[in-house]
Structure 1
Amino acid sequence: MPYFLIERNYAQDVEPYLGAFDDINRINDTEGVRWLYSFLSLDRRKTFCLYEAPSADVIRRAAVAAGLPADVVVELTGTVTPDGALASL
């Protein structure tokens, strides 16, 4: 299944709370989307999330259902390590 990086921009500081994660994961499950992890920017107004999903459209649909922004959705094809090695995902 393809991997995607999602950039989310927020108008206010992101304040994660445990109850929201259950709802987000439930919505993702219904869409066939798996949230792997997220990075939070220093100013707490942007996240960069790694997801596994059938398509970018499915990620956008799950984001709308969860009330989350999905400003940029990029499909990933591989990794590059500090020694220059390339690997497929």
Structure 2
Amino acid sequence: MPRYLVERTFPDGLNVPMNDAGATAMGGVIARNAEKGVTWVQSYVSPDKGKSFCIYDAPSPEAIRSTAQKNALPVDKITEVRVLDPYFYR
């Protein structure tokens, strides 16, 4: 399965509450992603919460865009990526 880096911009900042409501919201994202075979692996968020960089396993960029729309998430750019491990060379 291809892996992708998805860049997003949140003009008002990304706010996910650290409570049951936040957990429920993230569970909904995961469930909607699964409908298209998309797996959210991990995300990184800028200190101001204005940008996120998310790693996904997905069958295609179109599947990511489709689930992002269902999840009301912006998509600035999708790039297919591969792992480069610095310890591989030792």
TM-score computed with the length of structure 1 as normaliser:
0.86
Letter in 2 for 1:59: I
Name the residue aligned to 1:81: 85
- CA distance in structure 2 between the aligned counterparts of 1:8 and 1:70, rounded to whole angstroms: 5
Matched position secondary structure for 2:43 = strand
SS in 2 for 1:80: coil
Whether 2:10 is the aligned partner of 1:10: answer: yes
- 2:48 is the alignment partner of 1:36: no
Select the structure that is richer in helix. Answer: 2
Give the C-alpha shift of residue 20 in structure 1: 1.2
Runs (4+) off by over 3 Å: 81-85
Residues 1:25 and 2:30 aligned together: yes
Q: Give the aligned partner of residue 72 of structure 2.
A: 67
Aligned residues: CA RMSD: 1.4
Q: 1:80, CA displacement in angstroms?
A: 2.7
5+ residue gaps, structure 2, are 17-21
Stretches of structure 1 that go unaligned for 5 or more consecutive residues are none
Aligned residues: 84
The residue matched to 2:28 in structure 1 has which SS? helix
Q: Deviations over 1:13-56 (max 9, x none)?
A: 21112221011011001011000010010111111000000000
Shift of 1:84: 7.9
Per-residue deviation at 1:70? 1.1
Cα distance between partner residues in 2 of 1:34 and 1:82: 25
More strand by share: 1
